[in-house]
A and B are shown apart, each in its own frame.
Chain A
Amino acid sequence: AQSVTQLDSHVSVSEGTPVLLRCNYSSSYSPSLFWYVQHPNKGLQLLLKYTSAATLVKGINGFEAEFKKSETSFHLTKPSAHMSDAAEYFCVVTPMDSSYKLIFGSGTRLLVRP
């Protein structure tokens, strides 16, 4: 069965420093992978997606992620954190045999210090 594991429940960075949110996936075949962000009291917003095209995926707001099959990882990065990046981030996988279903990780809360 497909699943994702977010390795950190909380990540704290200073404004202007790089962001790294880690995600490992488990899948018997090449999955579709996503990162979603959830700001307090708001719905989920798609940051970026990987669907077997380029392994380095660029998303909105300066975020990007790299699909590494050998490491079964899909880590989210951003060169320089902004205060507005503080939110909950979810790594998500969609099984190839049921593409309508999103399987979410447990989330990583990003804190940005001034």
Chain B
Amino acid sequence: DAGVTQSPTHLIKTRGQQVTLRCSPISGHKSVSWYQQVLGQGPQFIFQYYEKEERGRGNFPDRFSARQFPNYSSELNVNALLLGDSALYLCASRSNTGETSYEQYFGPGTRLTVT
């Protein structure tokens, strides 16, 4: 089975622009979470979606938004980009059932560079 997939792999944007990142979870996983990993730091939680509803939000400004589609894929949108938004954006999916419900599986990430 395919793992978590993310697109694009790399992205370069200019300050003030908007960006959309995409994520497809593991087949059968209904929960998707987004994390931001700034260079040299651990990932920081941004959002979690389950069954197309937002179930959790981290300490990020309203410029960050997300949604989940009926097929459980997800998009992360960031408006009015700042230089500080440059980071690796990671998507993780989770089964929410059984003994593996605590395990989150990460995609390879999207490297966003804001110039």
A106 near B106: Cβ-Cβ < 8 Å: no
Q: Could you tell me if A105 and B106 are in contact, using CB atoms closer than 8 angstroms?
A: no
Q: Which residues from chain A sit less than 8 Å from chain B, CB to CB? A: 32, 34, 36, 42-46, 49, 51, 90, 94, 98-107
Candidates B31, B102, B108; contact of A42 at CB < 8 Å: B108
A98 CB, nearest partner CB in chain B, Å:
6
Determine the chain B residues whose CB is within 8 A of the CB of A107 once the complex forms: 41-42
Tell me, in angstroms, the Cα distance from A94 to B102 when the chains sit together: 9
Q: Which residues of B contact A (CB under 8 A)?
A: 4, 31, 33, 35, 41-45, 48, 50, 55-56, 58, 90, 92, 94, 101-109
A-B contacts at CB below 8 angstroms, number = 54
Taking CB as reference atom, which chain B residue is nearest A46? B103
CA distance A43 to B111 in the complex (A): 11
Q: Are A32 and B45 in contact (CB under 8 A)?
A: no
How far is the CB of B110 from the nearest CB of chain A, in Å? 11
CB <8 Å contact, A102 and B43: yes
Q: Given A100-B55, A101-B56 in contact, is the A51-B42 Cβ separation under 8 Å?
A: no
Quick one: given A100-B31, A100-B55, A106-B42, are A46 and B105 in contact (CB under 8 Å)? yes
A46 to B3, CA, bound (A): 13
